[in-house]
Amino acid sequence: MGRNTHQKQSILNALTSLRGQHPTAEMVYERVSQTIPSLSRATVYRVLNGFAEQGAVAQLRITESGYRYDDVMSPHHHLLCDVCKRVVDLTAPQFETIPLPQEDVSGCQIRGVELMFLGVCPECAAK
């Protein structure tokens, strides 16, 4: 396995180990540097971007703190917690039946729907 492939696999493993947390690139970098301390921050950012361009991971533009990464590629929605700003996966049957318009809307061609719900995550709700 080449060095590049090894780096990419380690970055993907780090992302998978953070599944459900929708980590920033910085969080992935911190995790992967525990196993490969020599890996540069720039490499991690570049590889994550590449994964997103290939459609291997989702890049969420949710908060002003930058992209969040998600290796869960099955369709799902997100809730941004008002309190801790965590991004939580949301799935419910009624979210899967939101009808998409068949014709262009405001000149836009719509290919899917990904909703951002606002509220409070289970941990914060329990406090």
Interacting residues with Zn ion (CB under 5 A): 70, 72, 81, 83-84, 86, 89, 121, 124
Residue 68 CB, shortest distance to Zn ion, in Å, is: 8
Inter-residue contact 27 to 87 (CB < 8 Å): no
Sorted by sequence, the CB contacts under 8 Å of residue 24 that are 6+ apart come out as 65, 66, 67, 68, 69
Query: How far lies 108's CA from each of 58, 59, 79, 105, in Å?
Result: 22, 21, 25, 5
Nearer to Zn ion, 39 or 77 (CB): 77
CB of 15 to Zn ion, least distance (A): 12
Taking the complex as a whole, the smallest distance from the CB of residue 58 to Zn ion amounts, in Å, to 7
The answer to whether 68 and 24 are in contact (CB under 8 A) is yes
User: Which residue, 7 or 69, is less far from Zn ion as judged by CB?
Assistant: 69
